[in-house]
């Protein structure tokens, strides 16, 4: 099967994050097994989802990890011109949910396996496909832990998010939080008999906004955003509970620590008599790869586009980098099409990915295995 045929099959699986991805994973596992790859599935705690880790080539150190996520964002409340889960080819575009983000890259990887199998690979090529990236990168930590337990150390990881095949060296992190305030409900005719949960919540919201503006004023690219606030039940009831959903995007770990310290300080001086619960609901580390590193040199040799850039969106690359695996982002398609109605990828982008992956096969066949 070629890349487009495989993409057609992948798109037909509705792997929206609230659904299981097992049908898709089992199809990919059968495809890879049929072409002689060594395949492992790493399930979620409830068994409803799974990561897939597969290896083509020898059991050796110094290989490359090609990583992508299997889940897609919802199509609810979007107006599509065709069935989101049926690939449509028109005027050089392939339309369907996940074509750009990021089943196009996964399809190209799967299509490359038979070619790689014909080569005398001296280093392995690993495929690492995760679940629940779109709702907080929930699957990839478990995938990486399994990689470290069962595979010899790879030389680099390439995360195939849509960059139009240009090398992405850096992106900010993403940390999402839920802060819940619990006061005491009362009849609004006597507000003093209760403790409002909304009042301290609004003070936190205002303080976060001021902090975000201060960061911007001094040139810090770390951003802060309050995305949702929920509290109260009626106009004549003192609200006993209020929840604030907010996030920040730091440039590095030092910036992340600074934001967390400031929020701890803010919460410590908010209204007495209110219980405050803080929970991190998403955490994606920042990425900062070296432009002159071996991973970048290899990607350029295989045909990745130059010059490199910093990405506006987060990826799973930071997790691989945290695990000590030099990482970069490079994949087909444009992020401008991701998450949109009538999401599409250019056929030419898939062709560029095919050539890039053929180059990776040549690299793995030519590279000497470290002693």
**How far is 180 from 249, CA to CA, in rounded Å?**
21
CATH 3.30.70.360 segments of the chain: 174-284
Mean pLDDT of successive 10-residue stretches along the chain, which has 371 residues: 96 97 98 97 97 97 97 96 97 97 98 97 97 94 96 96 97 95 96 95 94 91 95 96 96 88 86 87 91 90 92 94 96 97 98 98 79 39
DSSP summary character for residue 98: T
- Residue 367: predicted pLDDT: 60
Task: Output the pLDDT for position 40.
Answer: 97
Angle (deg, nearest 10), helices 3-12 and 347-366: 110
Is 71 part of the annotated catalytic residue set? yes
Sign of CA dihedral 297, 299, 302, 304: negative
Q: For residue 39, count other CB atoms closer than 10 A to its CB.
A: 16
Evaluate whether 7 touches 95 at the Cβ level (below 8 Å): no
List the strands of the sheet with 174-182, edge to edge: 223-231, 241-249, 174-182, 275-284
Cα distance from N-terminal residue to C-terminal residue, the chain: 37
Q: How far apart are CA 188 and CA 181, in angstroms?
A: 18
Could you give the angle at the alpha carbon of 227 between the alpha carbons of 135 and 144, nearest 5°? 25
pLDDT of residue 254: 86
| CB neighbours of residue 106 within 10 Å | 26
User: Which residues, in sequence order, are bridge partners of residue 67?
Assistant: 128, 159
CATH code of the domain occupying 174-284: 3.30.70.360
3-class secondary-structure state, position 131:
coil
pLDDT for the residue numbered 371:
39
> Looking at 101, 132, 133, 134, which residue is catalytic?
133
Give which of 302, 286, 300, 292 is closest to 253, Cα–Cα: 286
Start-end ranges of CATH 3.40.630.10 in the chain? 3-171+285-366
Alpha carbon distance 105, 177 (integer Å): 31
* Predicted local distance difference test score (pLDDT) of residue 30: 98
Burial code (b: 16+ CB inside 10 Å, e: under 16) for 201-234 equals beebbebbeebbeebeeeeeebbbebeebebbee
Task: Let me know: does 125 contact 56? Beta carbons within 8 Å.
Answer: yes
Neighbouring C-alpha atoms within 13 Å toward the C-beta of 194: 21
- Report the candidate in 55, 57, 82, 74 with the shortest Cα–Cα distance to residue 66: 55
Going 295 to 297 to 302 to 307, the CA torsion angle's sign is positive
**Inter-residue contact 124 to 93 (CB < 8 Å):** no
**What are the residues facing 182 on neighbouring strands?**
241, 275
Out of 71, 161, 316, 354, which one is annotated catalytic? 71
Superfamily of domain covering 3-171+285-366: Zn peptidases (3.40.630.10)
As beta bridge partners, residue 177 has 246, 280
Which stretch of DSSP H or E encloses residue 170?
strand 166-171
């Amino acid at each position: 099967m070629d890349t487009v045929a495989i993409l057609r099959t992948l798109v037909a699986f509705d792997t929206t994050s609230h659904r299981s991805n097992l049908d898709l994973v089992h199809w990919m596992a059968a495809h890879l097994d049929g072409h002689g790859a060594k395949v492992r599935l790493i399930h979620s705690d409830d068994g409803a989802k799974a990561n897939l880790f597969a290896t083509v080539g020898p059991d050796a150190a110094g290989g490359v990890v090609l990583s992508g996520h299997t889940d897609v964002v919802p199509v609810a409340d979007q107006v599509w011109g065709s069935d989101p889960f049926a690939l449509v080819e028109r005027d050089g575009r392939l339309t369907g949910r996940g074509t750009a983000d990021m089943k196009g890259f996964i399809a190209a990887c799967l299509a490359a396996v038979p070619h790689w199998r014909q080569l005398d690979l001296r280093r392995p090529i690993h495929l690492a496909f995760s679940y629940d990236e779109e709702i907080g990168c929930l699957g990839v930590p478990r995938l990486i832990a399994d990689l470290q337990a069962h595979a010899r150390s790879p030389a680099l990881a390439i995360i195939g998010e849509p960059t139009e095949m240009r090398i992405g060296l850096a992106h900010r992190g993403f940390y999402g939080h839920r802060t819940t305030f619990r006061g005491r409900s009362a009849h609004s005719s006597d507000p003093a008999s209760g403790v409002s949960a909304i009042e301290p919540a609004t003070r936190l919201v205002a303080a976060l906004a001021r902090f975000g503006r201060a960061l911007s004023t001094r040139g810090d690219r770390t951003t802060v955003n309050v995305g949702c606030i929920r509290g109260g039940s009626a106009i004549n009831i003192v609200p006993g509970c209020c929840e604030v959903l907010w996030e920040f995007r730091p440039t590095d770990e030092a910036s992340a620590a600074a934001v967390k310290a400031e929020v701890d300080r803010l919460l410590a001086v908010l209204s007495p008599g209110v219980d405050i619960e803080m929970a991190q609901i998403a955490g994606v580390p920042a990425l900062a790869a070296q432009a002159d590193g071996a991973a970048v040199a290899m990607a350029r040799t295989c045909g990745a586009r130059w010059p490199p850039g910093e990405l506006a969106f987060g990826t799973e690359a930071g997790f691989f980098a945290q695990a000590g695996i030099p990482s970069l982002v490079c994949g087909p398609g444009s992020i401008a099409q991701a998450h949109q109605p009538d999401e599409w990828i250019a056929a030419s982008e898939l062709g560029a990915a095919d050539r890039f992956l053929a180059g990776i096969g040549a690299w793995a066949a030519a590279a000497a295995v470290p002693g």
